[in-house]
């Protein structure tokens, strides 16, 4: 499955022969003063184990996981599918929802970052 149907702003960062893929949102605006690079919204499609143990992600499972990270430890969406095809379609759906402003990224944070959210709002939801 290719990611040709990605909404504006989303890019394929990496797609491995094993099927794993990484999608990123607006890499052109992250990394500056307003939107730090560590906050680059990233969708991972992987069949790696989701255990918290170090190195567990290197072991393939029968399930495919779609996870939208807002920062390395901040997950806004986490879904599981039975096939790579279903996971890839779900990754595109998550990208569409995020770009449309239909993912509540504020709720994923325990400590509010209002100034950052205001800047992110300018790039999400077609505003």
Q: pLDDT tens digits, residue range 28-41? A: 999 877 789 999 99
* 4 assigned to some structural domain: no
* 5 assigned to some structural domain: no
Residue 99: give the domain boundaries. 10-122
Kindly report, residue by residue over 69-85, the tens digit of the pLDDT: 999 889 999 999 999 99
* 127 assigned to some structural domain: no
Task: Please provide the average confidence, as pLDDT, over all residues in the chain.
Answer: 87
Q: What's the total number of domains in the chain?
A: 1
* 56 assigned to some structural domain: yes
* 105 assigned to some structural domain: yes
* 60 assigned to some structural domain: yes
Decide if pLDDT at 16 tops 60.
yes
Q: How many CA atoms lie within 13 A of 124 on its CB side?
A: 23
Which of 23-37, 40-54, 71-85, 87-101 is predicted with the least confidence, judged by mean pLDDT? Answer: 40-54
CB under 8 Å to 96, separation ≥6 — which residues?
Answer: 7
Between the alpha carbon of residue 6 and those of residues 9, 22, 89, 93, the distances in Å are: 8, 12, 10, 8
d(Cα 1, Cα 39) in Å, to the nearest integer?
27
* 93 assigned to some structural domain: yes
């Amino acid at each position: 499955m290719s990611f040709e149907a990605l909404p504006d702003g989303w890019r394929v960062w990496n797609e491995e022969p094993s099927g794993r893929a990484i999608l990123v949102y607006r890499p052109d605006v992250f990394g500056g003063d307003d939107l730090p690079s560590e906050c680059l919204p990233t969708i991972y499609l992987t069949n790696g184990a989701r255990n918290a143990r170090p190195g567990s992600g290197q072991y393939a499972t029968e399930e495919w996981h779609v996870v939208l990270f807002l920062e390395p430890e901040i997950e806004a969406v986490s879904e599981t599918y039975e096939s790579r095809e279903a996971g890839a379609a779900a990754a595109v759906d998550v990208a569409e929802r995020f770009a449309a402003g239909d993912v509540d990224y504020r709720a994923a944070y325990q400590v509010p970052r209002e100034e950052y959210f205001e800047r992110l709002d300018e790039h999400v939801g077609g505003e």
